[in-house]
Structure 1
Amino acid sequence: MKLSRRNLLRSLGISMAGGIFLNGVSSKKAFGEEKVMPDMMPKMHKPMMPSPTKKRAVILGGGYSGLYCAITLRELAPDAEIVVVEKYPFFVSGPSHIDFVAGLKHLDDISRSYDPVSARNIRVVRSEIIGIIPDERRVLTSSGDIEYNFLVISTGIRIADEDVLNLIEQPASNSHAWELGETVEMRKRIEAFKGGRVVLTVPTAPFKCPPGPYEVACLLREYFDSKKIKAEITIVDANDKPQPGPLAQKWTSVLEARNIIYKPNNKVIEIDAAGKQVITDKGEKVGYDFVSIIPSNKAATFIKDAGLGDPFVDVDPATFKSKKYDNIFAVGDCAKVPYTKSAFTASLQGKSVAHHVA
């Protein structure tokens, strides 16, 4: 049986959530002809829309948790005004980034238009989120301000490049599958790779898609072997065992079977691009010809600035309600909850919060 991400997860006893749940328009145009990050000048303190005259729920982020929340809320509250603020012009399946970097899927396969969401009378606003003023019930975006009655934060994670010395100064030396732009770049680098030492790093838990780094390693082994490319693959892990913890023993066996070197308890704190090596908190230097560093995962900086939590949004893990504001919720990867940061759990959280808001 040919190795794929789905088959690999099944061998570990993991059930994947269904595929992209949005039907319809291909996003080829969005990927090929539109810029992901448009050049938009901030219009601070200028309203994007009038003050709400009925219940308005503003959802920050159009990923799995945000969209499940919006669609479920529309079913529960037909008359509510629902606004989704999203910086990208199309939906991209986060879990499928891994399939893409391994050459198993194309960009069109893992992306969809937001048109089916808009067709449900949900307003999708393409804009960059700048900040939140909780006491004024207001969100600041690059296109103007939006007032809300209820706010659902589902902005996912921010990759904290600043936590790895020299990484910000040497961005061209690294790429990973945890952000869209980085995913595209990593695919290009994999296709250009001719052989040598491959180093993949894992940040301290919690982080988005815990099985992901180990899946990438296994799928790269399959890819390189199929191309007859000689590659020594090493995982440098900040954790004491593969994540998530309950699958550690199975992952260890899978990695050994694929001749993947595993170095636990080694947090990468520095990259030396000139010397082609990463340096860990133990002082160990690991050389590479191809490197993929996943820095620490944190919530967006505007969440900390708004006093809503650091490094994630502080919420009640049962209701996902902010510990400071009764009308603010956080779901998915940006929330501080004792659950795995995955698309499946994020989707369930989005549905749950919709019932609280309705």
Structure 2
Amino acid sequence: MAKSRREVLYAVGGLIIGAVVGAVAFPRRETVTVTETVRETATVTQTITQTPAPTAPSQPSETPSVNGNNFTWKEPGKINIVVVGGGPAGGTFVKTLYQMPGAREKVTITVIERNEVWVSGPSHVDFVAGNRRIEEVTRSVKGLVADPKVIRLVQANVVALDPANRRVYTNLGYTEYDILVLAPGIVLGTWEIENLSLVPNYHAWDPGHALALGEAVRRLAQGTIVFGVPPAPYKCPPAPYEVTLITADIIKELGRSDRVKVILVDANSQPQPPPKARIFKEWLDNVGVEYVPNSRIVRVDPEKKEVETEKGERFKFDLLSVLPRNYAPEFVRAAGLAKQFTEVDVTTYRTKAFDDIYAIGDHILAPYTKSAYAANTQGRRLAEVIAERIGLGVRPETKVYNICWSYVNRRELSAIEVQWEPDGITSPGFPKVEEPNAENLQKRHSWENGLLSFLYG
């Protein structure tokens, strides 16, 4: 999910003021030396501190710094790999390739990541439920740098790609590459829903918003909550239904079911993913959620506090949680690599436009579930693909795999497992669906903890 660093870090401090999340950040410690870069730091008590930039290393090849506009890391005899994004897809690729025999002698890896900390995406729903604290699943992305002689981290925003000249442009300058791996996640197409930006809209695709949504639900003494689901595919297919059911559960626990109405407006014909549709529909019916399928929200009336669908249906709201359609980031689309999602060969993740650019994770056009679990296995497989390409004697064997544990209330979760063959076809015997139970909560948290430890230490 696309994240606002300010919102994320504000949430870590536990400060939610009214309906707006975040305007403070963790103390910043530069990973690369940057001249004339503004460093804004604050503690949760708003005491201003300053962390000086580190002294330039005596051996630039160990921790290369940004010098001027060009921060390319190119060493003789080594392949210069640049990775955009240090989340479950990009981070897994980096860690897996680094651990392969012979890789450290053949590559340098530059990771460009905009966030200083990573707040685990799978826990966003837990924040709404109140089942996890944000500090439990927040890690420094510096943990990706297993060896500064092989991996470096540049904290910057990518603004453009120049595939013809093999360059990535950021707000700090540019780097050239031999191989580029794109794993930046998705952005939300808020521009597609008229006036959406003019009203408070809290969703679980941002940690600060997820915390704010949970608080807003608990504050609402009476009124109507409207949830909106975009057309599939989108990141974490079960999440809109999970959040809706968790909300209904919270309202029931607070004794407000007769005063607070919950409406779920879904652009799809049934809850997603389809193998879980029956389970979600049964639970939505049982808790009294008004489910409106085949209706896509296209407009918001801020004055009347109404949403309107493409059919002309109108629903009043006191609290709004609409997920817009997902897109590959603008810099990917502007480079001609994507329309909505980045187009790849699913067997290799090589982009269809350039043979030296690969893409993995939620922003690609592929049959896989858009989830952290699937992104993690894509990262492993791409590491094998690149290892074979650069002559490490590795054959791609990993199959993309996904397990999703999905809430039906604050305590019980159903599960679905899917595996895909290298050509993207679902493997025989899948998907496997499990009915809701309480044991799945610990399974979900244990897997997530393991992923965070692998990526960031």
Give the TM-score normalised by the residue count of structure 1.
0.86
Aligned residue for 1:11? none
- Which residue of the other structure, out of 219, 223, 226, is the alignment partner of 2:253? 226
- Partner SS state of residue 332, structure 1: coil
| CA deviation map 1:304-349 (0-9, x unaligned) | 1111111111101121111111111111111111111111111111
Residue 228 of structure 1 aligns with an amino acid whose one-letter code is G
- Which residue of the other structure, out of 259, 275, 287, is the alignment partner of 1:258? 287
Q: Do the aligned partners of 1:72 and 1:351 also contact (CA within 8 Å) in 2?
A: yes
Q: 1:36 to 1:350 in 2, by over 3 A?
A: farther
Give 1:1-358 correspondences, 5 Å limit: 31-32=12-13, 34=25, 46-53=69-76, 54-76=78-100, 77-79=103-105, 80-121=107-148, 122-168=151-197, 170=198, 172-230=199-257, 231-358=260-387
Residue 47 of structure 1 aligns with an amino acid whose one-letter code is N
Larger Rg: 2
| Percent sequence identity over aligned pairs | 35
Displacement of 1:242 in angstroms is 0.5
Displacement of 1:113 in angstroms is 1.5
Task: Please give the alpha-carbon distance, in whole angstroms, between the structure 1 residues aligned to 2:10 and 2:295.
Answer: 42
Q: 1:40 to 1:212 in 2, by over 3 A?
A: farther
Q: Do the aligned partners of 1:276 and 1:287 also contact (CA within 8 Å) in 2?
A: yes
Range 46-55 or range 142-151, more displaced: 46-55
Displacement of 1:36 in angstroms is 10
Displacement of 1:249 in angstroms is 1.6
Q: Do the aligned partners of 1:63 and 1:92 also contact (CA within 8 Å) in 2?
A: no
Task: Please give the alpha-carbon distance, in whole angstroms, between the structure 2 residues aligned to 1:184 and 1:308.
Answer: 34
Task: Please give the alpha-carbon distance, in whole angstroms, between the structure 2 residues aligned to 1:287 and 1:316.
Answer: 44
Task: Please give the alpha-carbon distance, in whole angstroms, between the structure 2 residues aligned to 1:176 and 1:29.
Answer: 16
Displacement of 1:35 in angstroms is 5.6
Q: 1:293 to 1:28 in 2, by over 3 A?
A: closer
Q: 1:235 to 1:36 in 2, by over 3 A?
A: farther
| CA deviation map 1:29-82 (0-9, x unaligned) | 9944626999968x9x91124445421211111111111111001012123211
Task: Please give the alpha-carbon distance, in whole angstroms, between the structure 2 residues aligned to 1:114 and 1:215.
Answer: 28
| CA deviation map 1:229-254 (0-9, x unaligned) | 33211110001111011211221112
Displacement of 1:293 in angstroms is 0.8
Displacement of 1:183 in angstroms is 2.8
Task: Please give the alpha-carbon distance, in whole angstroms, between the structure 2 residues aligned to 1:36 and 1:188.
Answer: 26
Q: Do the aligned partners of 1:36 and 1:88 also contact (CA within 8 Å) in 2?
A: no
| CA deviation map 1:131-190 (0-9, x unaligned) | 11111111111111111111111111110101100113x0x4212111244334334423
Q: Do the aligned partners of 1:40 and 1:142 also contact (CA within 8 Å) in 2?
A: no
Residue 34 of structure 1 aligns with an amino acid whose one-letter code is A
Q: 1:176 to 1:36 in 2, by over 3 A?
A: farther
Task: Please give the alpha-carbon distance, in whole angstroms, between the structure 2 residues aligned to 1:336 and 1:36.
Answer: 37
Q: Do the aligned partners of 1:52 and 1:148 also contact (CA within 8 Å) in 2?
A: no
Task: Please give the alpha-carbon distance, in whole angstroms, between the structure 1 residues aligned to 2:27 and 2:313.
Answer: 38
Q: What value does the CA root-mean-square deviation take over the aligned residues?
A: 2.5
Task: Please give the alpha-carbon distance, in whole angstroms, between the structure 1 residues aligned to 2:275 and 2:310.
Answer: 25
Give the TM-score normalised by the residue count of structure 2.
0.68
Range 125-134 or range 182-191, more displaced: 182-191
Displacement of 1:196 in angstroms is 1.7
Q: 1:238 to 1:30 in 2, by over 3 A?
A: closer
Q: Do the aligned partners of 1:55 and 1:149 also contact (CA within 8 Å) in 2?
A: yes
Range 176-185 or range 77-86, more displaced: 176-185
Aligned residue for 2:411? none
Which ranges of structure 2 fall in alignment gaps of 5 or more residues? Answer: 1-7, 14-23, 31-35, 39-65, 388-457
